[in-house]
């Protein structure tokens, strides 16, 4: 079962503000990504996954085929 971006953040014990600061974006940008994770770049998605200590494959960001295309 994949985690949503929000669920991964909550399980890591971080606030939206915490994550936004580490990712170097405004909290409203991060909030938008929680609702529309497909708008997050692959680089930011990788950084987020490391931050919350989950594998990239454990978090639902977008249709898997699109994510794989971006990675390759």
Given a contact cutoff of 8 angstroms between Cβ atoms, the answer to whether 55 and 66 are in contact is no
C-alpha to C-alpha distance for 47 and 17, rounded to whole angstroms? 15
Q: Which domains does the chain have, with CATH numbers?
A: 5-64 (1.10.260.40)
Q: Using 50 as the pLDDT threshold, list the residues of the chain that sit under it.
A: 65, 68
13 backbone φψ class: left, alpha, beta (φ>0; ψ -120 to 50): left
Residue 19: per-residue pLDDT: 98
pLDDT number for residue 7: 95
Q: What is the pLDDT of residue 65?
A: 40
Per-residue confidence (pLDDT) for residue 62, from 0 to 100: 66
What pLDDT shows up at residue 68? 47
For 4, which DSSP code?
Answer: P
Confirm whether pTM is higher than 0.85: no
Write down the pLDDT at residue 57.
Answer: 87
């Amino acid at each position: 079962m994949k985690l949503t971006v929000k669920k991964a953040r909550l399980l890591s014990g971080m606030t939206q503000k915490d994550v936004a600061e580490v990712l170097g974006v405004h909290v409203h940008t991060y909030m938008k990504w929680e609702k529309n994770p497909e708008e997050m770049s692959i680089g930011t998605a990788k950084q987020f996954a490391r931050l919350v200590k989950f594998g990239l494959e454990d978090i639902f960001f977008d249709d898997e085929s699109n994510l794989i295309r971006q990675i390759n």
